[in-house]
Amino acid sequence: MAKFGAAAGAGVFAVSLWWFDPPLEESTRYPAGVALRDRTGALLRVGLGPDDQDCRPWYRADPEDWVVQALVASEDKRFWRHHGVDVLSLLRAVRQNVTTGRRISGASTITSQAVRLITPHPRKLRWKYVEAFQAMRLEMAMTKLAIIEQYLNRAPMASNLVGIEAGAMGWFGKPAKSLSLGEAALLVGMVQSPSRFRHDRNMAAALRRREYVLGRMLALGLITDAQKQGAESAALVVRRAPRPFEEPYFADWAQSSLPRAGGDYTTTLDPGIQRALARRVDERAADLGCSAAGVVLDVRTGAVRALACSGDYFADGEGQVNAALAPRPAGSTLKPFIFASALDRGIVAPAETLLDVPRHFSGGFSPVNFDGGFRGRVSAAEALVLSLNIPFITLVSEVGLVRFNGTLHALGLDTVSPSAQTHGAGIAVGNADVRLLDLANAYATIARGGVHTPPRALESAEPAVGPRLFSEAACWLVSDILSGDARAQGAVGHIAAAKLPRAAWKTGTSAANRDAWTVVWNPEHVVAVWCGHKRGNFGDESIVGIAAAAPAAWEVMRDLYPSGDAPWYDRPADVV
C-alpha cells in the first residue's frame, strides 16, 4: 500500500509538472510605456505604461550587484541551490503554521514570486500549488539570473514605480547598478510591502526594514559588520527624479513612427550631431529674431541623425509646434528635381541655352526672378545656379505637370497636392508646401544617386530600398553644378577663410519672405535648415535663403567635417 501511495504521488507530481506550463510568453510583456534612446544607448524619453505605471524593464542582473545580494539574503537565501521550490522552507512553514494554528511564515521563493509577478493571481491554496510547479518549470527554462531579472524588473517600488530600475531612478536619480549598499537594501526591503515601507511617508518603518535586510546580508556573509554600519550611518538622499524627456522634437517624431505603443527602442539620433545642429539653429533664430529648424540625414541609410527646433518646447502657444514637420511654401527648393527630371527625359543638357525673359501666363501669372530682373539667354546650368524662375517654369511644363507631381510624391513630398492642377507651373517657383524633413530626404535621393529611401527613426530597422527616381548621371550633374568653392564661400561669410568641405547646396525663399530654406549635401550627409515664423502669416526682409538659412546649414556641415576634408562623387561613366 505504501508503494502504491508513493507511486501515485510520483504520478501526480509528474503530471502536475508537465501540466502547468511556465509563463514564458507572459514573461516577455511588461507594464511599460515607450522608452527611446539615442544611438549610443542614452535615454531620450521614458513614457508611462498601463495605469500610468513607470516601468523600465532593462535591468540586467549580476550576482555582485547589491540589489541581487540584498534580495537573495532577505527573500530566498537558498535561491542559488534550489530548483524553484525550497523544500526546507516549505517544511518549516508547514510545521510552524500547523503548530500555531495560523499562518506564521510562507515558503515562497524568488522564483515563485517571479511567477506571481509575471501572472498575478490570488494568494489561494490552489494557486500556491500551481505556482510551485510553474516555478519548477520556470527554473528549467530560464537561468537563475534571468529569473532574478524577471523579479526585479516587475517588483513594485511604491508610488507608480515598477521594477528596480524605475525605483532607483525614481527615488535616487541613478541606475540600479549605481545604488549604494544602503540604497539597495532600502529598495529591496520595500518590495515586501511598498505602502508600509515607503520611505517618503514612513521613514522609520523603511529604515527598520532596511536594517533587517542588512542583517540578513551580514548573517549570510555577504557584507561585513563595518559595511553594515557604514550603510546604516550614511546619509540617505532621497529625491524624486523626473523621467527623461530629451530632444522632444525628434522624440515626438520618432515615437509617432513606432510599430506599437510600448517597448525599448534605439533611435538613429546621434547626440554629437544633434548638439551641433541644435546650437546652430538656436544661434540663427536668436540672430534673426525668428524661429529655425534643422535636420541632418545619413545619405546611405536614410537615418535621421539630428532634428532640432529653436525655442522652448514647453513655451505657451507655439512651443510644441515642430517646425521640421510643419508644411511650408517650398520656394525654389524644388528646382533641382525639375532639372534632374528634364535631364533624364532628354529635354535639356547643362550647356543648353534657355531663355530668361518676361512671360505672361493665364490667370494673370507673370513671374519674375528674386531680384526682379531677367538674364536673357543663359545656359541651363546657370539657370539652376541662379535659380531663375522663367526657365524652370518652361522646363516643368515640358517635363509634364502630372508626371512631375508624381515624382514629388514618389520622393515623399506628400504635402504637395495630389492634383497637378492645384499648383500648375507655379510648382517651379514654390507655390506648394513641403516639410523640412521630407525635403531633406528628397535631396538625399539625389545625394545617393537617384534611389529613394524613406527617412528612418530606428537604428535597428533595415534601410528600405525604394525605387530609382533619377539616373545616377542626372544626380551627379545636379550635385556637380550646385557645388564648388566659389559658390560656398559666397554663402558662409565669416567661416569662408577656413577650408570648406565640398558639398552641393540649394536655397529657397517663399513669397513675402516668410520662409528661408537651405539644403547642403555630399555623399554622406544631407543638412537642411529652415528659418521663418511658426505662424507663417508674415515675413521680413531678413528671411532669405542665402542670408538666413545658408550660414547655419554650412556651419553644421563644417561641424561634420572640421578638417574640411569630405568625400565627393566619382563621375559616372555615361557623363562625358
Return the closest-CA partner of residue 354 out of 385, 387, 386, 394: 394
508 three-class SS: strand
Pairing of strands 263-266, 34-37: parallel
Residue with cell 546650437: 279
d(CA 16, CA 20): 6
**Angle, helix 485-492 to helix 550-560, in steps of 10 degrees:** 120
For 276-290, give the secondary structure using H, E and C: HHHHHHHHHHHHHCC
Torsion of CA 378, 384, 387, 388, to 10 degrees: 30
The Cβ of residue 351 has, within 10 Å, a number of other Cβ atoms equal to 9
| Relative orientation angle of helices 203-219 and 225-233, to the nearest 10 degrees | 170
Q: Residue 281: how many CA atoms within 13 Å on its side-chain side?
A: 29
Instruction: Note whether 36 and 249 are within 8 A (CB).
Output: no
Is the distance from CB of 437 to CB of 256 less than 8 angstroms? no
| Candidates 75, 139, 382, 555; catalytic one | 75
- 164-188 burial string, b = 16+ CB within 10 Å, else e? bbbbbbbbbeeebbebbbbbbbbbb
Catalytic residue among 108, 332, 341, 510: 332
Q: Are 69 and 224 in contact (CB under 8 A)?
A: no
- Give the ranges where 289-360 is alpha helix by DSSP (H): 335-344
Q: Indicate if 332 belongs to the active site.
A: yes
Contact indicator for 489, 496 with CB cutoff of 8 Å: yes
Helix (H) or strand (E) holding 182: helix 181-190
The verdict on whether 460 is a catalytic residue reads no
Contact 31, 155 (CB under 8 A): no
Dihedral angle sign, alpha carbons of residues 177, 179, 181, 182: negative
CA distance 435 to 322: 10
Neighbours of 345 (CB within 10 A): 14
The answer to whether residues 368 and 430 touch, using CB atoms and an 8 Å cutoff, is no
Residues 6+ apart with CB under 8 A from 484: 502
Q: Give the C-alpha separation, 258 to 256, whole Å.
A: 6
Judged by phi (left if over 0) then psi (alpha if -120 to 50, else beta), residue 317 lies in: left
Q: How far is it, in rounded angstroms, from Cα 430 to Cα 422?
A: 12
The catalytic site residues sit at: 75, 332
